[in-house]
Amino acid sequence: MMNAIEKQWTRVCAVDDIAPDTGVCALYHGEQVALFRLSGQNDVFAISNHDPFGNANVLSRGIVGSRGDRLFVASPLYKQHFDLLTGECFEDPLVRLKTWSVRVEEGQVLLA
Amino acid sequence: MSKKRIVVVGNGMVGHNFINTLVTSDHASEFEILTFSEEPRLAYDRVQLSKYFSGYSAADLALVTESEYQSQGIVYTLNDKVVAIDSHAKIITTASGRKEGYDKLVLATGSFPFVPPIPGKDQDHCLVYRTIDDLEAISASAEVSKTGVVVGGGLLGLEAANALKQAGLETHVVEFAPRLMAVQLDEGGGKLLRRKIEELGVQVHTEKNTKEIVAGEECRYRMNFADGSFLETDMILFSAGIRPQDELARQFGLDIGERGGIVVNDYCQTSNDDIYAIGECALWDNKIYGLVAPGYQMAKVAFNHIVSNLLTHEESAVSFQGADMSTKLKLLGVDVASIGDAHGLTAGAQSYVFNDDIAEVYKRLIVSADGKKLLGAVLVGDVEAYGTLLQLKLNDMDIPGNPAALILPATDGAEPVGLGVSALPETAQICSCFDVSKGDIQKAVQGGCCSMPDLKAATKASSGCGGCAALVKQVMDAEMASLGMEVNTDLCEHFAHTRRELADIIRVKGYTRFEQVLEGHGHGHGCEICKPTIGSILASFHNEYVLKDEHIGLQDTNDIFLGNMQKDGTYSIVPRIAGGEITPDKLIVLGEIARDYDLYTKITGGQRIDLFGAQLHQLPEIWQKLVAAGFETGHAYGKSVRTVKSCVGSTWCRYGVLDSVSMAIAIEDRYKGLRAPHKIKFAVSGCTRECAEAQSKDIGVIATETGWNLYVCGNGGMRPRHADLFATDLDDETLIKYIDRVLMFYVRTGDRLQRTSVWMENMEGGLDYLKQVVINDSLGICTELEDNMTRIVGSYQCEWKTTLENPDKLKRFQHFINADEADSNLYYVRERGQRRPATEAERIELVELPPADKQALAGK
Ligand code: SRM
Ligand SMILES: Cc1cc2nc3c(=O)[nH]c(=O)nc-3n(C[C@H](O)[C@H](O)[C@H](O)COP(=O)(O)OP(=O)(O)OC[C@H]3O[C@@H](n4cnc5c(N)ncnc54)[C@H](O)[C@@H]3O)c2cc1C
Ligand code: SF4
Ligand code: FES
């Protein structure tokens, strides 16, 4: 919990750097963060870029989509699905990727 | 209780079937089985023998392997003929002197080809057609022959003629009777068959009685006929009928028929109660059955009788009651079928004849005097009605309505007259090869078999000659419908359509973007299944740059970055090397790039060069160099046209008859970039030696003296399939025209990730249907298909060239959007002078190395 402490928001890129319905990878405090943007939506989602199944930093290069009302990215290596909001793996709910809070302000993507 | 000992003499189709029935039965553990084969191999599919000439190997034809027999505990001996039976002591002796006792002896010795006693028949290139060894001899003889003659114009003779023709020989058929297939066909049918076969370039000579074979002037031999005429040929294949192999039975006192054959009763017992005879050597009710299905029935009958006699001591439930000899087959590409009393010999028989000289179709129905029952039929050129007619005959059903309707062609729009499968009784035999009834199929469907492969595995139906496949499927579909089952063919949760339906929708509505399709016909956001599928359909019809903003999110990762992602997240680079032809200068460029970037380098199975291990940010730099040197993208990443393999062909090769390299390059240049339901591979060979392996490709082209032969729908990979011969002797233009049409039809109708091989296997009407659509334009869409292809060809672009010209697009080619650093998670070791990803274990060691050493190891 953030309690009294204000979140430290850091700009990582412009929204327009992310083509709709695709992802990019940002370096944030030494960690690889996969950022995704869905078409028709201004929200940006941030989860770890590391695919724990393939052990490679590739998730930002997966296809995004929906199952029911959950949004996901499918790993480009072996196609496991990860929830964009929670980082949970559909195929193996014990696997949960790190997620970050995202804010879009004046066309810029901020992470905390 | 000790095991009962069964000795099976002959391991042909029927002998093996008997053994298989026994070892898969509940009584398997109570028997000990020994089998002897005169041939050097275990049972193989003799019915498919001619496929040997279209590339099947002995292994492909095998019905069983030695290790399977071993694991089932069956004692088998190859290359050893049984030469004596002592029926008192119950012992057999083999040529090698081995003696074995038996409780029951099963003779499954088959038959041998009859060679008429013509002077000169025993020369080197006078051969027969029965075993794999025979085929090997025929192949060897064909290599050194230009002309071949088949003696005998029956079913097997015509198959043999096909084999000679495929081997590239000028082929003749010499027949004693006034027409071809005199046993199965009437005069009208025989006449049409002859005409069709002659159109295919096989010369038919009827009413010829060969007097002698002497040395020839132009060819190796000359055949002199009784009427004073002669024919010159380099080889002769006798196919003048078969004779039961009853030698053993004859020598050791079993009853033999007047014209040969081991006499058996309804339980397949010979005149000695402990000796059975089954298959082509057995004579039942004075008849020899020269087909495999009756042989299988006999195997089942003999098995049941042996079990009841030795074990259960109950009366055997099944007996042999004769078999139906109806046949449907394709001879030299001509469809022919014969049912029941084809000659109208039954008293009072009447007939209906339909003859279409233009379309080359002949059909004759033989009906009972009152016109109510079907007695027989002859069909040539169009055998659609076979299934229906056979069922009418076998089940002795009343002909529905006017019999003529059964053979008249359907007029436009009208449904062809058929017999709904629902009309068949449950006992109706649907698959005669494996005696599978309608009820058996229904039961299997009720038990959960909802696809042809499942059904085949469960019941064996349609896994023999395949003639019953269409009917089996109808019964399956009908049963599924009656159970209220529905097959879900939806692409995914976002679209309640198949890929084919979506392709139609997109084409008809003229959609150009995913959003339009989703809005109009789907819901949700899409997923990794529907997005690439629709992306591919859009590309197939419009061929826009795949990285355009509106398409980029649809692409699989490989397409997004125009390279194949490797296990560590780096990429491979595969430039197009059309036809496998490459200049030394270009090779040097590839070598220099690979060296400078330390890329692992390998020659691929597709005749090109793959450079592995490039990081995202290196891809544009590397491609810049490649494009400057004249390379284009190889689309190794796309569900699209991959490679056209070629052999060196007539320019260099001493056997080549056409320039296969030029054709391969022309084809690759034409179709490069075409996106499709799955990847598409081609090959072009310069002659029948087929060094480019074209028959394993989606599209295979093989040069002949008279033009190109086109093969379609082959596959290597997980489930190999030999391509089907689609058209022969084509000129360049027609070849391209047919390929255009086949490919575009595949693009429109193929399922998601369905290679052409599976597409073909699932196509109703199969190869014939595809020929109708592509060659005869039966759907009237050929112009459209060609126009579509022309558009695609005209709008080709090298995706890498376009990308390099678009600085905007290049922004995506870096590991971090906000930093210039590279991925820190890459570890390499060197092996055989090249870099490769470190294994998990190696990584752990590497991490402990000081950074400087690590760099050195990685070759940086
Ligand atoms: C590089 C290469 C192997 C090699 O070192 O020789 C190769 C490599 C791959 N093959 Fe292949 N195949 C290669 C020739 C073949 C061949 C041989 C041929 O083309 O003559 C076959 C069998 C022929 C056929 O396809 O009918 C072949 C049958 C497959 C299959 C099975 C397809 C099937 O229908 O069963 C797959 C899996 C798939 O596509 O779903 C596959 C998939 C793959 C993938 C794309 C797997 C993947 O997703 O990572 C590999 C990645 C290539 C890369 O990273 O660059 N590859 N693959 C060959 C590239 C040829 C080229 O120049 O483009
Ligand atoms: C080219 C061709 C195409 C055909 N097409 C069809 C078709 O489309 N449909 C159809 O139904 N049928 C077809 N047939 C017929 C079918 O192949 C036979 O009906 C079937 O093979 C008969 O099986 P069998 O076991 O009785 O005889 P076989 O398969 O001939 O087996 C008998 C085996 O016994 C061995 N043998 C013989 N004597 C001895 C001995 N003393 N000791 C040890 N071994 C011995 C033989 O060497 C042989 O291997 C075709 C046949 C040929 C040649
Ligand atoms: S297929 Fe024919 S032309 Fe081509 S290399 Fe082989 S033998 Fe030569
Ligand atoms: S009838 Fe031959 S496989 Fe069914």
Average pLDDT over residues B724-742: 96
Mean pLDDT across B681-687: 97
Percentages of chain B per state (helix, strand, coil), in multiples of 5: 35, 20, 45
Where along chain B do its domains lie? Answer: 4-112+244-312, 115-240, 425-487, 499-556, 557-637, 639-791, 828-857
Question: A-chain residues within 8 Å CB-CB of B552?
Answer: 19, 21-22
Q: Which atom of ligand 3 is nearest to the CA of B656?
A: 3
Q: B812 to chain A: which residues are within 8 Å by CB?
A: 19, 22, 24
Q: In this structure, are residues B452 and B476 in contact, taking their beta carbons and an 8 Å threshold? A: yes
So what's the pLDDT on residue B733? 96
CB contact under 8 A, A62 and B532: no
Which ligand has the minimum distance to the alpha carbon of residue B722? 1
Q: What percent of chain B has pLDDT above 90? A: 64
| Angle between helices B155-166 and B132-143 in degrees, nearest 10 | 40
Q: Which of B615-619, B836-840, B856-860 has the lowest mean pLDDT?
A: B856-860
pLDDT at residue B857 is higher than 50:
no
Q: Please check whether residue B617 is in contact with residue B814, taking contact to mean a CB–CB distance below 8 angstroms.
A: yes
Tell me how crowded residue B831 is: count the other CB atoms within 10 A of its CB. 9
Q: Which of these CATH numbers, 3.50.50.60, 3.30.565.10, 3.40.50.410, 3.40.630.40, describes B4-112+244-312?
A: 3.50.50.60
**Which of A22, A50, A55 is opposite residue B552, by nearest beta carbon?**
A22
Query: What's domain B639-791's superfamily in CATH?
Result: Sulfite Reductase Hemoprotein, domain 1 (3.30.413.10)
**DSSP-assigned letters across all residues of B313-378:** -SPPS---------EEEEETTEEEEEEESTT--STT-EEEEEEETTTTEEEEEEE-TTS-BEEEEE
* Mean of the per-residue pLDDT values of chain B: 90
Q: Compute the distance between CA of residue B530 and CA of residue B498 in angstroms, rounded to an integer.
A: 10
pLDDT at site B487: 57
B4-112+244-312 and B115-240 agree in CATH topology = yes
Domains of chain A: 11-111 (2.102.10.10)
Q: How far is the CA of B691 from the centre of ligand 3 (A)?
A: 5
**What is the chain B residue with the closest CA to A30?**
B824
Q: What is the pLDDT of residue B556?
A: 86
Question: pLDDT of B74-94, one tens digit each?
Answer: 999 999 999 999 999 999 999
- Give the helix ranges, DSSP H, for B756-813: 756-762, 766-774, 782-794, 799-804, 807-810
Looking at all shown ligands, the one closest to residue B323's CA atom is 2
- Give B527-572 pLDDT, tens digit per residue: 999 999 999 999 888 888 888 888 989 998 888 899 999 999 999 9
The CATH code belonging to domain B115-240 is 3.50.50.60
> A37: which chain B residues are within 8 Å (Cβ-Cβ)?
none
Q: How far is CA B403 from the centre of its chain?
A: 35
* Ligand 3 contact, B695 CB (< 6 A): no
State the CB neighbour count (10 A cutoff) for residue A92.
11
CB B333 within 8 Å of CB B315: no
Question: Which protein residue has the closest C-alpha to ligand 1 atom 12?
Answer: B605
Classify burial at B398, counting beta carbons within 10 Å of its beta carbon; exposed 0-12, middle 13-18, buried 19 or more.
Answer: exposed
Mean of the per-residue pLDDT values of chain A: 89
> Hey, are the CB atoms on B528 and A71 less than 8 Å from each other?
no
Comparing CB atoms, the residue among B553, B565, B818 nearest residue A22 is: B553
Cβ atoms within 10 Å, residue B73:
13
**Rounded Cα–Cα distance for residues B544 and B624 (Å):** 21
Q: Does B565 sit within 8 Å of A61, measured CB to CB?
A: yes
CA of B111, closest atom in ligand 2? 30
What pLDDT sits at residue B854? 44
Going by pLDDT thresholds of 50, 70 and 90, the confidence category of residue B761 is confident
- Measured in angstroms, the CA of A86 and the nearest CA of chain B are apart by 18
Contacts with B304 (C-beta within 8 Å, 6 or more apart), sequence order: B316, B317, B318
Residue B265, CA atoms < 13 Å, CB-side half-sphere: 10
| CATH number belonging to domain B425-487 | 1.10.10.1100
CATH topology of domain B557-637: Sulfite Reductase Hemoprotein; domain 2 (3.90.480)
Alpha-carbon distance of B515 to B523, in angstroms, equals 10
Q: How far is B467 from chain A (nearest CA, A)?
A: 41
Q: What is the largest CA-CA distance in chain A?
A: 42
Point out the residue among B493, B525, B565 whose CB comes nearest to the CB of A76: B565
Q: How far is the CA of B433 from the centre of ligand 4 (A)?
A: 4
In angstroms, what separates the C-alpha of B494 from chain A's closest C-alpha? 9
d(CA B521, CA B502): 9
Contact B279, B12 (CB under 8 A): yes
Contacts of B522 (CB under 8 A, 6+ apart): B494, B495, B496, B530
Nearest to B9 by CA among B102, B97, B81: B81
Beta bridge partners of A96: A88
B250-309: pLDDT as tens digits: 999 999 999 999 999 999 999 999 999 999 999 999 999 988 989 999 999 999 999 999
For B815, the closest of A25, A38, A62 (CB atoms) is A25
What span, in angstroms and rounded, lies between the C-alpha atoms of B663 and B703? 10
- Closest approach of chain B CAs to the CA of A6, in angstroms? 24
Question: What residue of A is the nearest CA neighbor of B813?
Answer: A24
Which pLDDT score is estimated for B419? 56
